[in-house]
Amino acid sequence: MNKIVVVTGGAGYIGSHTVVALSDAGYTPVIIDDFRNAQPWIIDRIEQITGHRPAVFDIDCQDEVKVAKVFDQYETIFGLIHFAADKAVGESVNNPLKYYQNNIGSLCTVLKVAEERGVRNIVFSSSCTVYGAVSDPVVTENHPVKAAMSPYGDTKITCEKIVRFTQAVSDSMTAILLRYFNPIGAHPTALIGELPQGIPNNLVPYIAQTAKGVREKLTVFGNDYNTPDGTNIRDYIHVVDLAKAHVSALAYLSSKEKQICDIVNLGSGHGTSVLEIIESFEKVNDLKLNYEIGPRRPGDVEQIYADASKAKNLLGWTCEYEVEDALKHAWEWEKTIEKMETK
């Protein structure tokens, strides 16, 4: 019998790629998403890729009655992966209450419904943002979680604590907190990918839209950092690799007799600078990008990348794609959006 996995935010960027990975691994994903930051046609694309159309419930995760009705449709639920959250760092600074209300409220509601029904395997979507500004750029999971640099980051820190304290007193729950570094790219079929709303905050979608001519030019936020080429360094990870890590995390949780709450960094273990990303994007896609060097962006960490050994040792997971593959797939996906827009 297929194992049911409830995926909140399952129509979103990382969520949709994870639904594909779950389906490919033989699970039966069930999506809860209010489509505030996702397109309905993504579900058609998931079906096109996997051959299976997931059940989808267009519900706000803060609506306990409706969320409970979804869970009660299934006799046994194997696991829950919680993505549903607002995630724009800049927006969170200008609208903190939206972020605290939604990100914390949604988690509390979904966790309560799951715990009441004895759902065992809980995977929470967290972020390397919780590390804040790091002194040593290579971070392990033991690196101290610092005071958040944004309300968004603060909700991730708070939500990690909520999962930890809830699991500690649960008779059924076992949990893992996955701290993503920088997810980039799109599915190799170019059927699903990142769909930023408005002006992209993140580097790679902005690069892709600049290459397409939607943006006039990319601004590199500072080249006077203490790094080899002066630009920030990050750990960029292909979104398909990130999605597969969630399948590995579920397998790990279900293999453990003992109930636990563990933390795992999901990164490649390598750092790449902004200028290196630009150069790779140009090379792998055979194009020239229009960019200029501008002022630093407030709040940017100079450099951070994962010590990814725990993911390898605990989950048996490592990245299969290179950054270049992600940049190639990002561009192939971006070009399809252009075709869709012109329809």
Report how many residues bind ligand WQD under the rule CB under 6 A.
Answer: 19
Q: Which residue of 112, 297, 314, 322 would you call a contact of ligand WQD, by CB under 6 A?
A: 297
- Tell me the closest approach of the beta carbon of residue 218 to ligand WQD, in angstroms: 6
With CB under 6 A as the contact rule, which of the stretches 217-225, 250-258, 262-270, 331-339 interacts with ligand WQD? 217-225
8 vs 170 by CB, closer to ligand WQD: 8
Is residue 202 at the binding interface for ligand WQD, with CB under 6 A as the rule?
yes
CB-CB contact of 87 with 58 (8 Å)? no
Burial class of 282 by CB neighbour count within 10 A (0 to 12, 13 to 18, 19+) = middle
Is residue 124 at the binding interface for ligand WQD, with CB under 6 A as the rule?
no
| Kind of pairing between the strands at 261-266 and 174-180 | parallel
226 vs 342 by CB, closer to ligand WQD: 226
CB-CB contact of 225 with 302 (8 Å)? yes
Residue 232 region by backbone torsions, left for phi larger than 0, else alpha for psi between -120 and 50, else beta: beta
With CB under 6 A as the contact rule, which of the stretches 68-76, 199-207, 279-287, 319-327 interacts with ligand WQD? 199-207
Residue type, 112: K
- Tell me the closest approach of the beta carbon of residue 29 to ligand WQD, in angstroms: 21
Q: Token pair of 99, please? A: 């972020």
| Whole-angstrom distance, CA of residue 85 vs CA of residue 104 | 8
**Contact positions with ligand WQD (CB under 6 A) in 42-71:** none
| Whole-angstrom distance, CA of residue 288 vs CA of residue 23 | 38
Q: Token pair of 266, please? A: 């999901």
| Whole-angstrom distance, CA of residue 295 vs CA of residue 147 | 25
Phi, psi of 112 (to 5 degrees): -60, -50
| Whole-angstrom distance, CA of residue 198 vs CA of residue 183 | 19
Is residue 100 at the binding interface for ligand WQD, with CB under 6 A as the rule?
no
**Contact positions with ligand WQD (CB under 6 A) in 271-290:** 274
Q: What is the dihedral of CA 73, 74, 75, 80, to 10 degrees?
A: -130
Residues near 302 by beta carbon (within 8 Å), at least 6 away in sequence: 133, 137, 225, 226, 227, 232, 233
| Whole-angstrom distance, CA of residue 161 vs CA of residue 247 | 23
Phi, psi of 32 (to 5 degrees): -115, 120
Is residue 158 at the binding interface for ligand WQD, with CB under 6 A as the rule?
no
173 vs 220 by CB, closer to ligand WQD: 220
Catalytic site residue from 152, 225, 305, 321: 152
- Tell me the closest approach of the beta carbon of residue 86 to ligand WQD, in angstroms: 11
Is residue 102 at the binding interface for ligand WQD, with CB under 6 A as the rule?
no
Number of Cα atoms under 13 Å in the Cβ half of residue 130: 24
CB-CB contact of 116 with 173 (8 Å)? no
Q: Which residue of 206, 252, 305, 321 would you call a contact of ligand WQD, by CB under 6 A?
A: 206
Does residue 152 have an active-site annotation?
Answer: yes
Is residue 89 at the binding interface for ligand WQD, with CB under 6 A as the rule?
yes
- Tell me the closest approach of the beta carbon of residue 251 to ligand WQD, in angstroms: 24
Q: Token pair of 212, please? A: 């397409």
Is residue 127 at the binding interface for ligand WQD, with CB under 6 A as the rule?
yes
Is residue 18 at the binding interface for ligand WQD, with CB under 6 A as the rule?
no
With CB under 6 A as the contact rule, which of the stretches 65-73, 216-224, 260-268, 279-287 interacts with ligand WQD? 216-224
Q: Which residue of 8, 129, 155, 167 would you call a contact of ligand WQD, by CB under 6 A?
A: 129
Q: Which residue of 221, 230, 270, 279 would you call a contact of ligand WQD, by CB under 6 A?
A: 221
Residues contributing to the site for ligand WQD (CB under 6 A): 87, 89, 127, 129, 180, 182, 201-203, 206, 218-221, 232, 234, 274, 297, 300
Catalytic site residues? Answer: 152
